[in-house]
């Protein structure tokens, strides 16, 4: 039995059920920052970039989407994806198809992509979590939800601002 980090399962649920790519980025980045020595560290960054790429695409930032998805493809090795329970060939193909679509038909309507999971146990864990939280795995993005689509500019950042101010004070005291 493979054990996966809780943050990774959270990422998958945000990605497939809520289509909250901003939260995918947040939860996986926090985990990655705390586990930089993890052998899958590059894969975590690749997954973060996939989420950011999808977030950009949904917001019609085609240049940002292409940049992030291309970078993700370079970071996500077949071996790492397999270790994360992902069907590597299918996922890479979907990412390359999306990059090609963004280059050749940038005005095409946005459509979600899924991360194909090869590990049925991982899939069951994700589905169980969805059931507990009354979420639908594979639900499409709610394109009417302005908060979901523009979350980075609409979220409450007061805690982040306070933390940065506190860090600045500490640096000034030291130096």
The model carries a pTM of: 0.86
Give the dihedral of Cα atoms 166, 150, 4, 71; nearest 10 deg: -100
d(CA 40, CA 79): 10
Which pLDDT score is estimated for 153? 66
Span 72-88, pLDDT tens digits:
999 999 999 999 999 99
Mean pLDDT confidence for 43-60: 97
Span 20-32, pLDDT tens digits:
999 999 999 999 9
Which pLDDT score is estimated for 15? 98
Q: Which two tokens stand for residue 142?
A: 């709610």
Of the two residues 37 and 163, the one the predictor is more confident about is: 37
Q: Is the pLDDT score of 97 beyond 70?
A: yes
Q: Is residue 48 a contact partner of residue 32, using CB atoms and an 8 Å limit? A: yes
d(CA 5, CA 9): 7
Which pLDDT score is estimated for 1? 47
Span 38-51, pLDDT tens digits:
999 999 999 999 99
Mean pLDDT confidence for 120-149: 95
Residue 175 DSSP SS3: coil
Sign of the Cα pseudo-torsion (120, 124, 130, 134, in order)? positive
Scanning the chain, the segments in alpha helix (DSSP H) are: 6-13, 21-34, 41-58, 62-75, 78-83, 88-104, 120-132, 146-149, 151-154, 158-174
d(CA 17, CA 147): 16
Distances 55 to 21, 35, 110, 122, 174 between C-alpha atoms, Å: 6, 24, 10, 24, 39
Which pLDDT score is estimated for 167? 75
* Side-chain half-sphere exposure of 107, counting CA atoms within 13 A: 0
Average pLDDT, the chain: 92
Mean pLDDT confidence for 2-14: 95
Q: Is the pLDDT score of 105 beyond 70?
A: yes
Q: How does residue 150 score in pLDDT terms, banded at 50, 70 and 90?
A: confident
């Amino acid at each position: 039995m493979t054990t996966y980090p809780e943050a990774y399962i959270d990422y998958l649920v945000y990605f497939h059920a809520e289509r909250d790519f901003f939260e995918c980025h947040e939860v996986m980045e926090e985990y990655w920052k705390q586990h930089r020595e993890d052998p899958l560290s590059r894969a975590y960054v690749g997954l973060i970039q996939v989420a950011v790429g999808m977030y950009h695409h949904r917001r019609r930032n085609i240049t940002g989407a292409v940049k992030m998805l291309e970078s993700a493809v370079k970071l996500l090795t077949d071996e790492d994806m397999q270790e994360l329970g992902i069907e590597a060939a299918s996922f890479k193909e979907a990412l390359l198809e999306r990059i090609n679509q963004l280059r050749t038909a940038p005005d095409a309507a946005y459509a979600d992509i899924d991360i194909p999971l090869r590990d049925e146990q991982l899939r069951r864990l994700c589905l169980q979590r969805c059931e507990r939280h009354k979420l639908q795995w594979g639900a499409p993005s709610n394109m009417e939800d302005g908060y979901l689509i523009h979350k980075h500019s609409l979220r409450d950042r007061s805690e982040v601002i306070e933390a940065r101010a506190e860090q600045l004070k500490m640096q000034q005291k030291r130096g």
